[in-house]
Amino acid sequence: MKQRLSAATQQHLVLTPQLRQAIRLLQLSATELEAEVAEAVANNPLLDWQEAGAEPAPSPQGEADNGTVAEAAPEPEPPWEHDAEPWQESPGAYHGDHGETDHPSAEETLQDHLLWQLHLGHFSPRDTRIGIALIDAIDDDGYLREDLAALAASLRPDLETTPDEMLPVLHRIQQFDPIGVGACDLGECLRLQLRALPEDTPGREAAFAIAAGPLQQLPKIGIGGVCTALGCAAPEAETAVQLLRTLDPRPGAQHGALPAGTYVSPDCVIWRQHGLWRAALAAGALPRVAIQRDYQQMIRHASADDADYLRGHLQEARWLLKGLESRADTLLRVVRCLVREQAAFLEFGPQALRPLTLRSVAAELGLHESTVSRVIARKYVRTPRGTMPLRDFFASGIDTFDGGSASSTAIQDRIRQLVAGENPRKPLSDARLADTLKVEGVPVARRTVAKYREALQIPASHERVRIG
């Protein structure tokens, strides 16, 4: 075989520390972001809080490449009392104050978070039922410890399925947020998280081999045992072990419900002005921090060691400011897109909610679905209807007879209205509710109506009978 030398151009993603930090900042809630920035200010002498109304310090001459990044200041608060249009009385209208900390957060379990993603996905009705069963079997840590054969047997006779049919649905659930959910053990959980990393992540392949092999013996055998088991050098094994330590062994634990009574701070605010819906960052949603000019000027006059120390912290400060600016810009873009798509929902309530998925928003904004998912995670928006999570703007859809579509939230709201107006002596059965919806142009099966009714915690028709 003749040997030859050739060159090729290849594109690949490198997960730099700056990109890692930007991703982390993007998925933090407003409260978590404030704590993150406070810790950065405490540990970085070049960072300091900036008073409201103060202008960011300009870059000194000769330090153009190391200058501060201009802070992305939030837009001014909406003129609730004077310039904004008065909110018309309607069901669910908001009459509370307009403080930054509003209603207590609603409890949300890991199952709620996974079911929300399941219903937004493109699953067939059968796969959706299988997915619901799988998600119901996932524990609070995010693991599916029940055998698929036993789970399939428990679904009979309502649903005839096999482990082979359930496995593809499980694989799709394992790609949901949080990454690593649905694994059967720690090794699989770590492998799922490693698989989501770029292929050129240092230590990725060795870490994958450890997770698939000597993971349980790692505390006993140490780095030397890993080198022997994998046949690799000590530096490579050390890098792989450090990478494994950055992963989450309990991916479901941090996505449970907030403590009862916890109050949330809205990241954005939506209001109506001159007949148009507008959105802006809430006051305080973007922490006001800046680089201290005095310390920055010291770099030119400091000793070599001190200059290296200051430059390192200066780089970290610039990364933080860029990450905050990027987070604010992406969050505002997503919220404004939601306002455009769901203006009727803001105007008339849940019955006017349009079908909207992560994929459609990502396509409109030119973002990845995972980015949109991180943007809306644990983010809240203050509206005239109250403070609500951004995920409430999303809903799966059902095609109607007239060629349009109706969201699942709108259908549930209609079911609630029909039940509220029924004759208490002759409550509407699921079949009659389905027939009524079909007459209104929404073709839903009786099973779907039963599922929505149970989600609304409405008893069955025989339990709603009232005599006298």
pLDDT above 90 as % of the chain: 13
Tokens representing 64 are 């153009």
Q: DSSP label at 464?
A: S
Using pLDDT thresholds of 50, 70 and 90, give the confidence band for residue 62: very low
Using pLDDT thresholds of 50, 70 and 90, give the confidence band for residue 255: low
Stretch 76-103: mean pLDDT, rounded? 41
Instruction: Quickly count: other Cβ atoms within 10 Å of residue 272's Cβ.
Output: 20
244-to-186, 188, 192, 249, 455 alpha-carbon distances in Å: 11, 12, 12, 9, 39
Using pLDDT thresholds of 50, 70 and 90, give the confidence band for residue 5: low
Using pLDDT thresholds of 50, 70 and 90, give the confidence band for residue 284: confident
In a domain, 430, yes or no: yes
Whether the CB-CB separation of 396 and 355 falls below 8 Å is answered with: yes
pLDDT in tens, 151-203: 888 788 878 899 999 999 999 999 888 888 999 999 999 999 998 888 888 88
The total of structural domains in the chain comes to: 1
Q: Say if strands 47-49 and 276-281 run parallel, antiparallel, or are unpaired.
A: unpaired
Q: What is the pLDDT of residue 467?
A: 65
Stretch 328-355: mean pLDDT, rounded? 88
Q: The dihedral of CA 324, 327, 330, 334: what is its sign?
A: negative
Q: What is the pLDDT of residue 296?
A: 67
Of residues 125 and 60, the one with the higher pLDDT is 125
Say if residue 178 is preceded by a cis peptide, omega within 30 of 0.
Answer: yes
Q: What is the pLDDT of residue 170?
A: 94
Q: Residue 418 is part of a domain; what is its CATH number?
A: 1.10.10.60
Calculate the average pLDDT of the chain.
77
Using pLDDT thresholds of 50, 70 and 90, give the confidence band for residue 146: confident
Q: What is the pLDDT of residue 80?
A: 44
Helix axis angle, 304-341 to 17-26, nearest 10°: 40
Q: What is the pLDDT of residue 335?
A: 94
In a domain, 68, yes or no: no
**CA-closest candidate to residue 328, choices 31, 20, 30:** 30
Of residues 347 and 253, the one with the higher pLDDT is 347
Which of 191-195, 253-257, 368-372, 398-402 shows the lowest per-residue confidence on average (mean pLDDT)?
398-402
In a domain, 81, yes or no: no
Q: What is the pLDDT of residue 3?
A: 59
Of residues 148 and 377, the one with the higher pLDDT is 148
Of residues 222 and 91, the one with the higher pLDDT is 222
Whether the CB-CB separation of 382 and 99 falls below 8 Å is answered with: no
Q: What is the pLDDT of residue 468?
A: 52
Q: What is the pLDDT of residue 61?
A: 34
Backbone φ, ψ for residue 186 (5° rounding): -65, -40
pLDDT in tens, 128-137: 889 988 988 8
Using pLDDT thresholds of 50, 70 and 90, give the confidence band for residue 356: confident
Q: What is the pLDDT of residue 396?
A: 66
Q: What is the pLDDT of residue 102?
A: 47
In a domain, 118, yes or no: no
Q: Specify the pTM.
A: 0.57
Stretch 325-341: mean pLDDT, rounded? 92
**Angle (CA) 71 74 79, round 5°:** 155
Stretch 249-255: mean pLDDT, rounded? 79
In a domain, 449, yes or no: yes
In a domain, 224, yes or no: no
Per the structure, the complete domain to which residue 456 belongs is given by 397-463
Q: Which residues pair with 178 in a beta bridge?
A: none
Q: DSSP label at 277?
A: E
Using pLDDT thresholds of 50, 70 and 90, give the confidence band for residue 7: low
Does residue 312 register a pLDDT over 60? yes
In a domain, 229, yes or no: no
Does residue 54 register a pLDDT over 90? no
Tokens representing 351 are 């019955």
In a domain, 86, yes or no: no
Residue pointed to by tokens 């912290």: 313
Of residues 85 and 292, the one with the higher pLDDT is 292
Does residue 291 register a pLDDT over 50? yes
Stretch 365-394: mean pLDDT, rounded? 85
